[in-house]
Amino acid sequence: MKGLIYREFYLSRKPILLMLVTYVLFVMMLSLVIISTYAGNLADDPEVGDMRAYLNSEMYLYAGLIGIIGAVYGHNDIIEKDYKSRWQLYSYTIPVNEKKIAASKFIVRGILLLSGFVLAVLADVIFSAAAKEPLSFGHFKNILILLFGYGAVCFFDIPMMLKLKTQMKNAAVGLAIVTPLMAGFIYGSYRFVKFCSAEAKRLYPGMDSDAAIKEVAMPYIHKWRDALVWITPVAAVVAIVLLYFMTVKELKRRRY
């Protein structure tokens, strides 16, 4: 199985390298912009404080997405190429059972996701240092939710790619699943903002509307985030176990 793991890492090297270059450029550029808000051309901007707070509070998530999504993208590409090159068919002739083949794919994907997680945390550390702000434990919680939430989706891709064989078909199925969920999320967000706006007018009539809405919304957001920090790891572990057995079952079908 070590050879299978090494093979998948080796074939993923180019997409991972491209992701690392993109990640480094993004983090360097944003760090320079943050530093410029107090030691450069942006220091004279009257809204520089809000700009620096926004960059430090939001950009680590984008860096995390580059790391986590970028690290895994190339692995899906390997599964499609294995089908087209008939490697998957050849793999049935080697003295390794389907459980080990599935395990090798799950191990590689797990390592790639953890690598993306480390890059996300590193970006947060760099941005906090550039902004001269202390590290936020809330940011770490958000990265954990991103890791386990997106991670479950990434592991779902393995049996689906084996079944559908191409990223285009897999993306179409994923879009069909995600679209109604996103529609529900957007509608729920709209209702939540509307609720917060009404509560803000009632509780803070003399405060700026945006600040008042934030004052009402943040306790709910923090409560939901704290709940997700506990829920997403458990849900991800259960999902990964089920998806592993789905992958083994799909490999045993040998539909080639």
pLDDT at 47: 73
0.75 surpassed by pTM: yes
pLDDT at 242: 95
Asked whether 183 and 175 are in contact (CB, 8 A), the reply is: no
170 CB-contact burial (10 Å; exposed 0-12 / middle 13-18 / buried 19+):
buried
In tens digits, what is the pLDDT along the chain, a chain of 256 residues? Answer: 788 889 888 888 888 888 899 999 999 999 988 888 887 777 777 777 777 777 878 888 889 888 888 888 778 788 888 888 888 778 878 888 889 999 999 999 999 999 989 999 999 999 988 888 888 888 999 999 989 988 888 899 899 888 888 888 888 888 888 899 899 999 999 999 999 888 888 888 878 777 888 888 999 998 999 999 999 999 999 999 999 999 999 888 865 5
Measured CA to CA, the distance from residue 165 to residue 53 in angstroms comes to 44
pLDDT at 244: 95
Measured CA to CA, the distance from residue 26 to residue 122 in angstroms comes to 13
pLDDT at 205: 84
185 CB-contact burial (10 Å; exposed 0-12 / middle 13-18 / buried 19+):
exposed
With CA atoms as reference, report the closest residue to 23 among 100, 95, 116, 152.
Answer: 116
With CA atoms as reference, report the closest residue to 58 among 33, 39, 22.
Answer: 33
Measured CA to CA, the distance from residue 102 to residue 5 in angstroms comes to 10
Domain boundaries along the sequence of the chain: 2-253
Asked whether 8 and 78 are in contact (CB, 8 A), the reply is: yes
pLDDT at 256: 56
205-211 LR contacts (CB < 8 Å, sep 24+): none
pLDDT at 70: 82
- How many other C-beta atoms are found inside a 10 Å radius of the C-beta of residue 52? 23
- Per the listing, tokens 């509780």 go with 203
Measured CA to CA, the distance from residue 212 to residue 198 in angstroms comes to 10
The DSSP string of 46-101 is TTHHHHHHHHHHHHHHHHHHHHHHHHHHHHHHHHHHHHHTTHHHHHTTSS--HHHH
With CA atoms as reference, report the closest residue to 146 among 74, 71, 249.
Answer: 71
